């Protein structure tokens, strides 16, 4: 991975509203030697886990006012600092900072901490990273796999919230050459994706059909 920078601890001393105990991991699979910081508040056996993902140019400090509210409601709250941000290490090589680099780190963190019943709280790039994590879990905690095409679709929807996307527009944005522009294969892919990400695929709330126009992704409000 190469050299990494580390912000001195004293730079974080006395920050208003941020008296949370620091937690560090430096042996995540694929990220050995890089120290990753996360806030971890609330009971470990809580029914729900609020996973708070920041974007740029901020870090877990963004959620300092929300964390106590979630904890008071009986939840466990995780707020990691992405690599390159906050108290986490900052690889010196700029080329490592890719979408996959951050997404796979979050996946490794979720698996390492064995997080279940996760409620995502996201901002900016945290939404794109969190909502496109390939690790989807069923009620028993087992992995649900998604195909590359399904991932491309989900990523495109998340990048264009509350906007109607026609079939042709979806084909253009996903740049998927396996789809024919005049057939309905994209409808089949969306139906399959809904079965994996919607609570009730027959009454989808996230990926909605707009009659005569196309599809629209509606982010959760709660």
218 phi, psi to nearest 5 deg: -115, 105
Q: Which fold has domain 146-222?
A: Arc Repressor Mutant, subunit A (1.10.10)
Task: For residues 180 and 185, give the distance between their C-alpha atoms in angstroms, rounded to a whole number.
Answer: 7
Pick the CATH number of 1-145 from 3.90.1310.10, 3.40.50.1820, 3.90.550.10, 3.20.20.10: 3.40.50.1820
Residue 66, CA atoms < 13 Å, CB-side half-sphere? 19
pTM over 0.75: no
Q: Beta strands of 67-129 (E only): which ranges?
A: 76-80, 90-91, 118-122
Is 59 within 8 Å of 86 (Cβ atoms)? yes
Q: Residue 145 has what pLDDT?
A: 58
88 phi, psi to nearest 5 deg: -80, 155
Torsion of CA 123, 129, 134, 135, to 10 degrees: -50
pLDDT along the chain (222 residues), means of 10: 89 95 94 96 92 93 94 94 97 93 92 87 86 60 62 82 91 66 73 83 91 89 54
Quote the Cα angle for 205-101-144, to 5°. Answer: 40
Ordered by start, the domain boundaries in the chain are 1-145, 146-222
Please say whether the dihedral angle defined by the alpha carbons of residues 44, 49, 55 and 59, taken in this order, is positive or negative: negative
Q: Residue 177 has what pLDDT?
A: 47
Q: Residue 178 has what pLDDT?
A: 52
Is 59 within 8 Å of 81 (Cβ atoms)? yes
Name residues whose C-beta falls within 8 Å of residue 57's C-beta, 6 or more positions apart in sequence: none
Q: Coil, helix or strand for 171?
A: helix
């Amino acid at each position: 991975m190469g050299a990494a920078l580390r912000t001195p601890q004293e730079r974080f001393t006395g920050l208003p509203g941020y008296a949370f105990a620091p937690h560090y991991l430096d042996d995540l699979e694929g990220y050995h030697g890089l120290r990753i910081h996360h806030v971890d508040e609330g009971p470990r056996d809580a029914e729900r886990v609020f996973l708070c993902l920041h974007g740029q140019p901020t870090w877990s400090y963004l959620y300092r006012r929300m964390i106590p509210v979630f904890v008071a409601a009986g939840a466990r709250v995780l707020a990691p600092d992405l690599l390159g941000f906050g108290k986490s290490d900052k690889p010196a090589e700029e080329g490592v900072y890719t979408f996959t680099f951050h997404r796979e780190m979050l996946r490794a963190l979720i698996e390492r901490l064995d997080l279940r019943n996760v409620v995502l709280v996201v901002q900016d790039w945290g939404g794109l990273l969190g909502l496109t994590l390939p690790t989807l879990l069923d009620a028993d905690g087992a992995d649900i796999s998604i195909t590359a095409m399904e991932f491309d679709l989900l990523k495109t929807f998340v990048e264009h919230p509350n906007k109607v996307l026609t079939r042709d527009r979806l084909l253009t944005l996903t740049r998927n050459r396996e789809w024919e522009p005049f057939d309905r294969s994209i409808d089949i892919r969306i139906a399959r994706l809904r079965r994996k990400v919607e609570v009730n695929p027959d009454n989808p709330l996230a990926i909605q059909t707009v009659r005569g126009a196309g599809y629209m992704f509606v982010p959760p409000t709660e």
